Amino acid sequence: MENSLNNKVVLVTGGTGSFGKKFIEIVLSKFSPRKLIIFSRDEMKQYEMQKCFNDPCMRYFIGNVRDSNRLHRAFSGVDYVIHAAALKIVPSAEYNPFEVVKTNVFGAANIIDAAIDNGVKKVIALSTDKAANPVNLYGATKLCAEKLFIAGNNYSPKGKKFSVVRYGNVFGSRGSVVPFFKECRQKGQIPITDERMTRFWMTLEEAVSFVLRSLLEMAGGEIFVPKIPSMRIVDLARAVAPECEQIVTGIRPGEKLHETLVSPDDGIHTYEFEDKFVIYPHVVERDFERRDGKPLNTGFAGYRSDNNKHWLEVEDLAKMVEDKEKDDASYSLREAVCGRQRHPVCS
């Protein structure tokens, strides 16, 4: 089993997003990759990212996962792919379903074909709790993408491996509710869709670390699910804006009261480990390392955000908000300093 990214060529789709930036930061601090490639469609975001991440191993490719020809070119010589590109805003997906399918489903198929044709050793795709028992278009497309990646192992040559990481809401990611709550503080009111609502919650650092561990240990065909805490949306609002009144507005199109990471039906094929669950492929069984894991019992009710054993309270969430603000300030300063060093004319 590979246990390092040293001297490897690693490509991240959607690499200018919140996950991609944190992934690059952590990989550069822990490993010495031969190349670290950002593949994304926004040239301005790439330009801004280059100001801070200009290590000699970095490469920036403009492209869209909908474009199979561009993916085939970009994947040439790549060892590992982390597929993070997606359209993911739930209400937007409900209104623009055709566009979301093109990116999240057809884009996933393009990733698989390009990886197989170019001999990529490992591909790990990022998924979401909304893919488990989906009720919205975004979750349905991610479930479809999961199925595509797992099935990719069935028709790829020996040694080409595809796996999935499925996790919940990431604190501090782009589109997170926290920046929205901060904006609402000025008005003195925080809109709450439903006071009963719960969500899984993890930091960007935790998400990246889990993806890296899963990438290095995957055999191909697994869906890795981290054990992470839950939080109540009303507690998050109190942590961000304790002085503000909470106004209940009603659930938006496509939203759930609670999210699920492992459904009871998935539980039939799932093993529990100390820090994670692993859903093994339903169609083809392989020799997987399960020595430290145990199968879930027949009465498994699902791993849901409302039946979780681990909860974040208001104080925990407030500390996370404070730490994230410090991290953002540090990143902005680092970006400004690196930008001046890279572009002296601006100093």
Give the per-residue pLDDT at 14. Answer: 97
**Is 293 domain-assigned?**
yes
pLDDT of residue 332 exceeding 80, the answer is no
Q: Which of 162, 164, 145, 44 is nearest to 100 (CA)?
A: 145
**Is 59 domain-assigned?**
yes
pLDDT of residue 1 exceeding 60, the answer is no
Lowest pLDDT segment from 107-111, 157-161, 187-191: 157-161
Give the per-residue pLDDT at 133. Answer: 92
* Nearest 10 degrees: Cα torsion 40, 323, 260, 98: -30
11: β partners? 37, 81
pTM of the model: 0.91
User: What is the number of structural domains in the chain?
Assistant: 1
> Which of the four pLDDT bands, split at 50, 70 and 90, describes residue 283?
low
Give the domain CATH number at 276.
3.40.50.720
Q: Which residue has the higher pLDDT, 341 or 160?
A: 160
Could you give the CA distance from residue 255 to residue 246 in angstroms, rounded to a whole number?
Answer: 19
pLDDT of residue 335 exceeding 70, the answer is no
For 181-195, what is the mean pLDDT? 88
pLDDT of residue 316 exceeding 70, the answer is yes
**Is 53 domain-assigned?**
yes
**Is 290 domain-assigned?**
yes
pLDDT of residue 163 exceeding 80, the answer is yes
Give the per-residue pLDDT at 343. Answer: 38
pLDDT of residue 222 exceeding 90, the answer is yes
Q: Record the tokens describing residue 84, joined without a space.
A: 């993070």
Give the per-residue pLDDT at 345. Answer: 31
Give the per-residue pLDDT at 159. Answer: 72
For 327-334, what is the mean pLDDT? 62
- Percent of the chain, pLDDT > 90? 74
* Nearest 10 degrees: Cα torsion 34, 9, 49, 236: -120
CB atoms within 10 A of CB 46: 17
Q: Record the tokens describing residue 45, joined without a space.
A: 């975001």
Q: pLDDT tens for residues 29-76?
A: 999 999 999 999 999 999 999 999 989 999 999 999 999 999 999 999
**Is 174 domain-assigned?**
no
Q: What is the CA radius of gyration of the chain?
A: 20
**Is 216 domain-assigned?**
yes
By annotation, the residues acting in catalysis are 130
**Is 132 domain-assigned?**
yes
**Is 175 domain-assigned?**
no
pLDDT of residue 319 exceeding 70, the answer is yes
> Which of the four pLDDT bands, split at 50, 70 and 90, describes residue 11?
very high
The boundaries of the domain holding residue 28 are 9-169+200-227+262-305+328-346
